[in-house]
Amino acid sequence: MKKSQFIYIFLLLLVYSFELNAYAYPEFYEYSRKVSGRNTNCALCHTHGDGPEGFEEGQIKSLNKAEMERLMRARSAFQPGIKVKSPILNAFGNHIIYKIGKKKFLELKSHPENLPKELGFKSDLDRDGIPDAQEYLDGTLAISKEDGDPKKLFIANIRINIKHIILAILSVSLMFFGFVALLKGIHLKTKLNNSNGGDKNEKI
Amino acid sequence: MKSLTTIADFLRARFPIEKMNLQSMLMKKEVPIHKMSWAYYLGGLTLLFFTIQVITGLLLLFYYQPTVNEAYDSVKFISDKVPGGAVIRNLHAWTSSAMILTAILHLLTTFAMKAFEKPREVTWGTGVLLLFITYTFGFTGYLLPWHQLSVNATKVGLQFIGAVGQYLPGSLSELPNKLIEIIQGGPSIGQETLSRFYAIHVVILPLAIFAILGAHLLSVQLHGMSKGVDEKPKIKEPFFPNFLIKDFSLWAIAFLILFILAITIPFESFFSFPLVEPYNALGSTPEGIKPEWYFYFIYYPMELLPFWVIIIIMILLVLGLFLVPKIFSGTSRKTLTFIAIIAFIYFVTMTVFGQQIFELIKGGHS
């Protein structure tokens, strides 16, 4: 084997092993943790809460060939607007890559506070009424409608469910009205029966 | 023979047969009106919350899978896929907290109003039992979603039982650990524990609560509302229909508040998300494991005081609660109200500021 060929194969192996290494970019969840005060972890953007390294589901060493290809495609999505479905990222992680591209994302590593601005406040993956970028700042999961700031969820869900709430108020009020009428009716009938019975007794 | 007669007399006075008719228990019943009258509604509210618990619990049973591999996913399925599932589940969770809150308030106000006086000792005793059952409902139900918080919090709860062993003499010291094994169904928390907690939560406790609740309600209806204040109440209102209508109007409002809470705020939004991930037996215990809020009044003192002090307090508290009619028979309502207020302030302080108090004294996280 020629020396140049050897160097070429060595470099290729080096690049390949470099590509297989997992990156968690803790700068982002650490920033989220700092501003929100919540115990956020890799699950903010990753499939697995402990990050991409490991053998468990959603971690790099458990991936099959097809998943590996999806991972490589996601890793090469340097420009925004490319739909990716990385198996080690959750929907929010994939959305970040789609929205700003891998290149911009890597640039933001030193300024994780700029991520919400770059993402914008329109996307709401879990449809809980709180934008994904806001959930990042609040230290809550952007892909779980059960996870969110309770006060913000309350306001958002009041707006979303206002029809249900009005219907519930109407139906409970109607049921209550009917029930009270029924109770009053029973009471009146009992009173009438008692007074009639009383009269009869007196006559007897 | 004499003791049998005494028991029969006792029961006859507490459950008078001559009063066991609709006329006496409903139509002729009157409710005193005074400054503490609001407290008469707390028992009814607790009953409403229990009814909601039963209905929502039955609906959850249609989808919940009590196995360690499926429990978490089935709960997620209920919340994410079943139409109205999230509301039913949240209603179940919110109502459980509401039920415990009103049960505690009911106990404290009943105590303050001296409603445990003869012939209401049975009402009091069954009420205390119902409170303990309600707490056990909370403890067993907490494990069922099988996430990090629920399993680890249950472990912490069971560890406290095990810690009692060090204060017991000889072979008795092994008893708490044996008890834990019986509860867990093995040396550690697993499928057997989930099966047992599930059976206790959905079969054993409901059967027990229905039986005791029956005795409690019968006793309440037989003896009517206690007068509640030291002076003789000047005004009274008929239980049927006046009080009942007011009671139902409160039920309607309480239900609507709970429904709005359930539809707008998922109960789990109060926990940080790594805690509501599925339980990982091989992983380390995540930070911030705590029991439900209604255990804080005993949880934080457990973290701060020597364990033997807690054991003594617990024994005295449990015995004291059952013996209230004996201990406080001669105490004025003013003194009882003062004790109840102190107990309430302590409960609220530990529930709301327990963590801050702990950090202030110990200087760290619990």
The interface predicted TM-score (ipTM) is 0.87
pLDDT at A10: 63
pLDDT recorded at residue A11 = 59
Inter-CA distances, B296 with A58, B302, B355, Å? 37, 9, 9
Contact call for B245 and A150, based on CB within 8 A? no
**Per-residue pLDDT tens for B158-179?**
999 999 999 999 889 999 999 9
- Angle, CA of B104, B105 and B108, to the nearest 5°: 90
- Class of residue B30 by CB neighbours under 10 A (exposed 0-12, middle 13-18, buried 19+): middle
For residue A11, give the H/E element and its range. helix A3-20
pLDDT band of residue B356 (cuts 50, 70, 90) is very high
Question: Where does the pLDDT of residue A191 fall: very low under 50, low under 70, confident under 90, or very high at 90 and above?
Answer: confident
Q: How far apart are CA A85 and CA A80, in angstroms?
A: 14
Between CA A201 and CA B327 the distance in angstroms is: 49
In this prediction, residues B2-22 reach a mean pLDDT of 86
A9 falls in which pLDDT band (50, 70, 90)?
low
Name the amino acid, one letter, at B204: I
Inter-residue contact B110 to B126 (CB < 8 Å): no
Confidence of residue A19 (pLDDT cuts 50, 70, 90): very low
Considering only CB atoms, B273 lies closest to which of A141, A172, A183, namely A141
What is the model's pLDDT at position B81? 94
pLDDT(B260) > 90:
yes
Tell me the average pLDDT of chain B: 93
Is residue B138 predicted with pLDDT exceeding 60?
yes
Q: Cis bond leading into A52, ω under 30°?
A: no
Contact status of A141 with chain B (Cβ, < 8 Å): yes
For chain B, domains (ranges, CATH) are 20-362 (1.20.810.10)
Q: Taking CB atoms and an 8 Å cut-off, how many pairs form between chains A and B?
A: 88
* pLDDT tens-digit readout, B93-132: 999 999 999 999 999 999 999 999 999 999 999 999 999 9
Which of the pair, A22 or B353, is modelled with greater confidence?
Answer: B353
B273–A186 CB contact, under 8 Å: no
Cβ–Cβ contact B75 with A under 8 A: no
Q: Chain A: nearest CA to B104, how far in angstroms?
A: 25
Say yes or no to pLDDT of A57 above 80.
Answer: yes
Residues 87-146 of B with CB under 8 A from A: none
Mean pLDDT along residues A106-112: 94
- Poorest-pLDDT segment among B6-10, B71-75, B126-130: B6-10
> Of B185, B147, B116, whose CA–CA distance to B280 is shortest?
B147
d(CA B275, CA B279) in angstroms, rounded, equals 9
Query: What percentage of residues in chain B have a pLDDT greater than 70?
Result: 99
Cβ-based contacts of A50 with chain B (< 8 Å)? 283
Backbone dihedral angles phi then psi of residue B240, each to the nearest 5 degrees: -115, 120
To the nearest whole Å, the CA of B187 is away from the closest chain A CA by: 26
A36 in B contact zone (CB under 8 Å): no
Confidence of residue A197 (pLDDT cuts 50, 70, 90): low
Asked if A164 and B252 come within 8 Å (Cβ–Cβ), the reply is: no
- Nearest CA among A155, A151, A83, A95 for reference residue A126: A95
Roughly what angle, to the nearest 10 degrees, separates helices A150-160 and A162-203? 80
Q: What is the pLDDT of residue A12?
A: 53
CB neighbour class for A33 (10 Å; exposed up to 12, middle 13-18, buried from 19): middle
Tell if the CB–CB gap between B274 and A39 is shorter than 8 Å.
yes
A73-89 in b/e form (b: 16+ CB < 10 A) is ebeebeebeeebebbbb
pLDDT of residue B238: 92
Predicted confidence at residue A204, as pLDDT, reads: 36
Poorest-confidence range of B64-68, B275-279, B303-307, B309-313?
B275-279
Percentage of chain B modeled with pLDDT above 90? 80
Weakest-pLDDT range from B92-106, B125-139, B233-247: B233-247
Show the tokens assigned to B48.
């409403």
Residue B192, both tokens: 């057997």
Distance CA B201, CA B52 (A): 15
Q: Could you read off the pLDDT of A140-178 as tens digits, one per residue? A: 999 998 899 999 999 999 999 999 999 999 999 999 999
The per-residue pLDDT for B230 is: 85
Domain residue spans of chain A: 3-147, 161-204
Q: Is the pLDDT of residue A203 over 50?
A: no
A60 at B interface, C-beta within 8 A: no
Asked if residues A38 and A29 have their Cβ atoms less than 8 Å apart, the reply is no
Q: What is the mean pLDDT of residues A9-24?
A: 54
Highest mean pLDDT range out of A41-50, A114-123, A183-192? A114-123
pLDDT at res. B363: 76
pLDDT of A181 over the 90 cut:
yes
Assess A140–B contact: CB distance below 8 Å, yes or no.
Answer: yes
Backbone φ and ψ of B67, nearest 5°: -125, 150
Q: What pLDDT does A202 receive?
A: 43
Closest partner residue to A150 (CB to CB) among B80, B256, B265 is: B265
pLDDT of residue B307: 93
Structure tokens that stand for B297 in this block: 């009044």
* Closest to B156 in 3D by CA, of B167, B143, B174, B144: B143
What's the confidence (pLDDT) of residue B26?
78
HEC sequence for chain B = CHHHHHHHHHHHHHCCHHHCCHHHHHHCCEEEECCCHHHHHHHHHHHHHHHHHHHHHHHHHCCCCCCCCCHHHHHHHHHHCCCCHHHHHHHHHHHHHHHHHHHHHHHHHHHHCCCCCCCCHHHHHHHHHHHHHHHHHHHHHHHCCCEHHHHHHHHHHHHHHHHHHHHCCHHHHHHHHHHHHHHHCCCCCCHHHHHHHHHHHHHHHHHHHHHHHHHHHHHHHHHCCCCCCCCCCCEEEEHHHHHHHHHHHHHHHHHHHHHHHHHHCCHHHHCCHHHHCECCCCCCCCCCCCCCHHHHHHHHHHHHCCHHHHHHHHHHHHHHHHCHHHHCCCCCHHHHHHHHHHHHHHHHHHHHHHHHHHHHHHCCCC
Among candidates A101, A136, A103, which has minimal Cα distance to A117?
A136
Instruction: Determine whether B363 is exposed, middle or buried from the number of CB atoms within 10 Å of its CB (0-12, 13-18, 19+).
Output: exposed
Beta bridge partners of residue B147, listed in sequence order: B278
pLDDT at A34 over 60: yes
**Nearest neighbour of B273 by CB, restricted to A43, A158, A186:** A43
What tokens were used for B227? Answer: 């007068």
Cα four-point dihedral sign B188, B194, B198, B201: positive
- pLDDT at position A23, please? 59
